[in-house]
Amino acid sequence: MYSTLSQLLLTFYIYCFLGWIWECCYVSIPSKEWVNRGFLRGPVIPIYGFGALIILSLTLPLKDNITLIYITGLLGASILEYITGTLMERTFKMRYWDYSHHKFNLNGHISLFVSLGWGLFSVVLVKVLNPPIEKLVVSIPSRALELITYTLTIIFVVDTTTSIQSALDFKKLLKQLTENNRIISTFEVKLGSVASIINSGSSQFINQFQKLKLGIQETISRESGKISIVEKLQNIRFSKLKLVELLNEMTDTIIKEVQSKINSDFPKPEKTQLSNLLKDLTQLKGELKKLELSIFSRKDKAYKEAARLIRRNPTAVSRHFKEAFEEIKSLVKSKKSKD
């Protein structure tokens, strides 16, 4: 086994790289397009490096017993995958791999089928891959080895730092989009309630609102992959701003209608109900301004970075921000997207 930290680090990076190759091929072949897989930007997937080192350390006393290597590797890799998946979802509110559609899965983070594969990989690792890799690593002169590992470590740390920040920015973007959708849904409910009580022309606004909202959903789902992400964003942003404009117009009109009803001989129970709704609408009016500013303030760069993360992790899902996640995912759904 390895006797120095430099040897251990280089082995870690080698298996990170081999894991990246495997993941890229595993995802790219079925989709018939190249997918640069992984959480980091570089050609490495750390969980494979950590997994390889853990399995090698656990199976070192068992290297002559294939059955024990298989079982130990299966358990060790599955535990690592479950812990990693759980921590990443709690941190970023996004699941970068999801086995929920597999039979015999545990919270979508691990599944029996995949775990059986980890056992097989463990045997291949111990019996086939590691002997030549170990021989290569220990044969490198110490000074050259230190230089290589020092350089790779700097690159790895920088990549990890920037990738974590990108994931946190993506989480922030999803949170903002979810809040915007909440405001729109709240308006829809409140305005619908008022329209049903006063039974006037405001119902026409409600119909317009519902048609425009449906139009936005259709715009998101049908945008051609032949145009760039920025162009898609401009179309979606324009549609949402039209929705905000209509909401403002609807709110102003309905507030006037409600005030008129309150000042008339409208029945007292209905007046009380309208007064409460009027207070809610007045408060929500301020949120419309925040919504408009939020739509304007979101940078195309944030969307493009989020799209990059989804493109590299096509099986990713977000249970916490499902609607917002699907909206961003629509930007990269086509193979022909320019960005």
Which of residues 98, 122, 140 is at a domain's end?
140
Region for residue 243 given its phi and psi (left: phi exceeds 0; alpha: psi -120 to 50; beta: otherwise)? alpha
Query: How many degrees, rounded to 5, is the angle at CA 229 between CA 226 and CA 233?
Result: 120
- Whether 147 is in a domain gets the answer no
Which of residues 140, 156, 175 is at a domain's end?
140
Q: Are residues 173 and 302 in the same domain?
A: yes
CA–CA distances in Å: residue 290 to residues 183, 249, 299: 10, 16, 16
Task: Identify the pLDDT of residue 209.
Answer: 62
Q: Are residues 94 and 241 in the same domain?
A: no
User: Is there a contact between 96 and 316 (Cβ–Cβ < 8 Å)?
Assistant: yes
Q: Are residues 232 and 127 in the same domain?
A: no
Q: Are residues 221 and 257 in the same domain?
A: yes
| Other CB atoms within 10 Å distance of the CB of residue 330 | 19
Q: Are residues 288 and 173 in the same domain?
A: yes
Q: Are residues 255 and 110 in the same domain?
A: no
Task: Identify the pLDDT of residue 224.
Answer: 47
Q: Are residues 179 and 86 in the same domain?
A: no
Digits of tens for pLDDT over the chain (339 positions)? 667 999 999 999 999 999 999 999 988 888 788 888 899 999 999 999 999 999 999 888 888 899 999 999 999 999 999 999 999 999 999 999 999 999 899 999 999 999 999 999 999 999 999 999 999 999 999 999 999 999 999 999 999 999 999 999 999 889 888 888 887 777 777 766 666 666 555 556 566 666 666 665 665 555 544 556 667 777 777 777 777 777 777 777 777 777 777 777 666 776 777 787 778 777 777 777 777 777 777 677 788 888 888 888 888 999 899 988 988 887 776 444 445
- Whether 81 is in a domain gets the answer yes
Query: Which stretch of DSSP H or E encloses residue 238?
Result: helix 229-263
- Whether 154 is in a domain gets the answer no
- Whether 161 is in a domain gets the answer no
Q: Are residues 275 and 320 in the same domain?
A: yes
Q: Are residues 22 and 107 in the same domain?
A: yes
Task: Identify the pLDDT of residue 71.
Answer: 95
Length of the chain as a residue count: 339
- Whether 288 is in a domain gets the answer yes
Structural domain including 125 reads 5-140
Q: Are residues 318 and 191 in the same domain?
A: yes
Task: Identify the pLDDT of residue 336.
Answer: 45
- Whether 225 is in a domain gets the answer yes
Q: Are residues 27 and 73 in the same domain?
A: yes
Number of domains in the chain: 2
User: Is there a contact between 55 and 125 (Cβ–Cβ < 8 Å)?
Assistant: yes
Task: Identify the pLDDT of residue 216.
Answer: 59
Q: Are residues 194 and 87 in the same domain?
A: no
Task: Identify the pLDDT of residue 337.
Answer: 47
- Whether 287 is in a domain gets the answer yes
Task: Identify the pLDDT of residue 68.
Answer: 94
- Whether 220 is in a domain gets the answer yes
